[in-house]
Amino acid sequence: MQIAELDEKTRSSEPVVLVVDDETDMIELFKDVVQPAIRCKMYLAGSMTEARRILTRHSIDLLVADVHLPDGSGTELLEELRLASPSAGAIFMTRHPTVDETLFALRHGVLDYLPKPFSAEQIQKQLRAALHKQSILVRNEKRLIRLKTAVRELNKARHTVSQKVDILCNDLVQSYGEIASQFHEVRLAESFRKTLESANNLEQMLCHTMDWLLKEAGYSNIAVWLAGEQNQFELGAYMKYTLPGEKRRVEALKESMLHRTLREGCIHLSDQEYDQLLSPADRKLLPAQTIISSPCTYLGEAVAVIMLFRDGKCPFRNEDESMLKNISSIFATMLATMIDSQKKPDTTDDLWDDPADHSEEKFKKPKNKSESDADWWKRGESPPF
C-alpha cells in the first residue's frame, strides 16, 4: 500500500500520529473520518516496512498500530518508537485480543488496547484522550527538562560563586595577615625607637640596642660594628651569650661577614651555610653558628653593621631577619643623630669583651644616673627579663 500523508499544511506544533494497519477500510476510516475531526498531522502505513521508513524520517508523538501485520507484529514497533521518540505514546488494535498481548501493552506503558471492530466515534474519542494525555506528558517532560537545565545552571553558578567566595576569603585572610604583619613591624619599629630615645649617650644607645635585640630575637651573641674614617669599621660593642669576644674570634667574624653584609645587605645563614664561609681555623672559633647580619644605612651610606649569632641548634626565624632589617635604618638614623648632637662622643672601647680587660671593678661599679636597666650586662648582673 502507498503511504498516505494528510494535511501537509498543518502547523508544526500539531501532534504527529502514525497509523499502521494492513486493512484498507481501516486506512480509509482514519483518512476520511478520523483525521479531519482531530487536529493532528497523520501518516498512514500498511506494513511494518513502511512504518519503519516513516519512523526514521519523522518525529512521532502517537503510534496507532494493528498487532497483526503481514510482515510482523505491530508491538515490535514500540521499541523502535521509544528509541526514535522517547516521549511518544502508543495505541494497539487487534481483531483477536489475547491475554499475553494485553499484558505486554500494560507492562510497556501503552495508552490503550482497542479490540476491532470499533466505530469512528470510538476511535476519535480514544485518539483525543491519548493525545491529551500525551500532551500533558510532553509538557511535563519539557518542564522537567527546563527544571534540570535550570538546576544545572544553578549548580554551575553556585560552584562559581563558591569559588569566588573562597578566593575572596583567601584574599581577605591574606590581607588580614599582611595588615597584621605590617602592624607588628610598626609596633616593633616604634618600640625600638622609643628604646633608643631614652639613651643619654652613644654607649648607652648601644647597650639599649643589644638589650632590645635580646628580648626580640632571644639570647644571642651580638656584635655592633661602627664606621670610622675611610670607611673602616671597628667593633663598637659586643655582648657575649656563649662565645666571648676574643680578638681572634672578632677578626674571624669581621673577615667572614662584615664586607659580605655591606655588599649584599641583610644576610641570614644557617650553621651549615656559615661554616662554608669559614676557614678550618675559624670554624673552631665560631663552631656551628647560625647568623643574621644587617647594614645600618643613613643617607645612602652604611654607618654600622649589626650581627647576631648563636648555636645552629637554635636557628633564627625569618621574622628575626625581617625585624633586624627593619630596625637597622632606625638605628642608623638615631646613631647619626646621637653623633651629631655630641661634640665629644663617649668612647666605646670599654665595650670590647676582651678577657684581658675583665675586672670585677669594671663590672661592679655603682650605678649612676646616666645608667639604666639596659646596662645590666656591663655591670655583670643577671638579665632582667
**pLDDT score of 174:** 82
Domain region containing 62? 4-143
Residues 11, 299: Cα–Cα separation, whole Å = 89
Q: What is the DSSP string of 150-163?
A: HHHHHHHHHHHHHH
Residues 267, 321: Cα–Cα separation, whole Å = 8
How many domains does the chain contain in total? 2
Does residue 189 lie in a domain region? Answer: no
Give residue for cell 544545572. Answer: 152
**pLDDT score of 383:** 52
Does residue 120 lie in a domain region? Answer: yes
At residue 291's C-alpha, the angle toward residues 242 and 269, to 5°, is 145
Are residues 221 and 367 part of one domain? Answer: yes
Residue 111 CB neighbours (<10 A): 20
Q: What is the DSSP string of 324-349?
A: HHHHHHHHHHHHHHHHHH-SSPPP-G
Are residues 229 and 316 part of one domain? Answer: yes
Does residue 38 lie in a domain region? Answer: yes
Residue 320 CB neighbours (<10 A): 18
Does residue 183 lie in a domain region? Answer: no
Question: Who contacts 86 (Cβ-Cβ below 8 Å, separation ≥6)?
Answer: none
- Mean pLDDT of the region 156-164: 88
> Does 243 have pLDDT greater than 70?
yes
Does residue 154 lie in a domain region? Answer: no
Letter for the amino acid at 229? Answer: E
- The three-state secondary structure class of 355 is helix
Last residue of a domain, one of 143, 159, 189: 143
**pLDDT score of 103:** 77
Residue 174 CB neighbours (<10 A): 10
Are residues 204 and 134 part of one domain? Answer: no
Does residue 173 lie in a domain region? Answer: no
- Which H or E element spans position 27? helix 24-29
- φ and ψ of 166, to 5 deg: -60, -45
**pLDDT score of 260:** 95
**pLDDT score of 296:** 96
Question: Who contacts 154 (Cβ-Cβ below 8 Å, separation ≥6)?
Answer: none
The answer to whether residues 19 and 42 touch, using CB atoms and an 8 Å cutoff, is yes
Confidence grade of residue 116 (pLDDT, cut at 50, 70, 90): confident
Q: Percentage of residues in the chain with pLDDT exceeding 90?
A: 40
Whole-model pTM: value is 0.51
- 312-362: per-residue pLDDT in tens? 999 999 999 999 999 999 999 999 988 887 644 444 444 444 433 433 333
Q: What is the mean pLDDT of the chain?
A: 83
**pLDDT score of 352:** 42
**pLDDT score of 218:** 93
Does residue 248 lie in a domain region? Answer: yes
> Does 266 have pLDDT greater than 70?
yes
Last residue of a domain, one of 143, 164, 183: 143
**pLDDT score of 360:** 36
> Does 294 have pLDDT greater than 70?
yes
Omega of the bond leading into 295 within 30 degrees of 0 (cis): no
- 212-231: per-residue pLDDT in tens? 999 999 999 999 999 988 77
Are residues 344 and 239 part of one domain? Answer: yes
Are residues 358 and 262 part of one domain? Answer: yes
Are residues 244 and 96 part of one domain? Answer: no
Does residue 385 lie in a domain region? Answer: no
Query: Any idea what the CATH number is for the domain that residue 24 is in?
Result: 3.40.50.2300
Are residues 234 and 86 part of one domain? Answer: no
Nearest by Cα to 29 from 136, 114, 134, 108:
114
Burial of 204 (0-12, 13-18, 19+ CB in 10 A): buried
Last residue of a domain, one of 143, 161, 181: 143
Are residues 131 and 214 part of one domain? Answer: no
> Does 246 have pLDDT greater than 70?
yes
153 or 8: which leads in pLDDT: 153
> Does 287 have pLDDT greater than 70?
yes
Are residues 226 and 310 part of one domain? Answer: yes
- 24-55: per-residue pLDDT in tens? 888 888 888 888 888 889 999 989 899 999 98
> Does 240 have pLDDT greater than 60?
yes
Q: Percentage of residues in the chain with pLDDT exceeding 70?
A: 85
Are residues 368 and 230 part of one domain? Answer: yes
- 67-101: per-residue pLDDT in tens? 888 888 888 888 888 888 888 888 888 888 777 77
- Which H or E element spans position 290? strand 289-298
Q: The C-alpha cell of 63 is what?
A: 503510534
Query: Any idea what the CATH number is for the domain that residue 297 is in?
Result: 3.30.450.40
Are residues 264 and 366 part of one domain? Answer: yes
Are residues 224 and 139 part of one domain? Answer: no
